[in-house]
Amino acid sequence: MADYLDDLRFAHVLADAADATTMARFKALDLKVETKPDMTPVSEADKAAEELIRGQLQRARPRDAILGEEFGLDGTGPRRWVVDPIDGTKNYVRGVPVWATLISLMEAAEGGYQPVVGVVSAPALGRRWWAAKGHGAFTGRSLSSASRLRVSGVAKLSDASFAYSSLSGWEERGHLNGFLDLTRDVWRTRAYGDFWPYMLVAEGAVDICAEPELSLWDMAANAIIVTEAGGSFTGLDGRPGPHSGNAAASNGLLHDEMLGYLTQRY
């Protein structure tokens, strides 16, 4: 098996640099925010963090391709870094501390590129999570000061905690009734949103989570962390990995049952 620990260490270096950039502008009164063509916000900090990460990657990993939310795809080849400079920009621009930089390394494999390294760094929360293929998932302040992540052992939906982002996306796709049925049948629901529910699944604090519309950079790092923690990460179609344009994550024990609810149309 390939050893991805050097890449993981480098991803932490990238996250450190991004954290310094994003925290320097968090809650800044003169923060510049624009609206992208898809009507989502982008701040100067999003662009600065991605430019910084791209610059370091181009110097240290010149043969690797880079896909980022703000500046698209550069390069080709079997290795591709996928970057979301600020996942949770709407939170960031409003001063809500739930946002993170997502960094993943993906490698060409059967069925498309698959994540082999992932780092999720949420500096305003003082939290970071990471994983490398075959090496497990961890959380902590640094590689040398970390705790291993394991998903929960909850095996009954009626005992499960379910996290989601919002109701509107499910309604727009005709799946709101199934979503609401699921919320009624679980023990607890909370709308944490963005990267956080996936990290809570990996920690075993939440048992299931799902979102109806996502991009690859929203999912790649989350996917490897959840799976290395012993969980399942698929699209709503059940396809493993971050390629379905939406996501469902769980402790594995409740995955099929959750998908049964979320794919109902009526």
Q: Which residue numbers belong to the known binding site for Mg(2+)? A: 69, 84, 86-87, 218
| Closest to 82 in 3D by CA, of 93, 91, 70 | 70
Q: Which residues are CB-contacts of 153 (< 8 A; sequence separation ≥ 6)?
A: 204, 251, 253
Length of the chain as a residue count:
266
- Cross-strand pairs, 114: 107
Pick out the residues of the known binding site: 69, 84, 86-87, 218
Q: For residue 205, give both structure tokens.
A: 């604090």
Would strands 145-148 and 161-163 be described as parallel, antiparallel, or unpaired?
A: unpaired
If DSSP codes are grouped into helix, strand and coil, which group holds residue 6? Answer: helix
**Do 105 and 7 touch, CB atoms closer than 8 A?**
yes
C-alpha 236/C-alpha 240 separation (Å) is 10
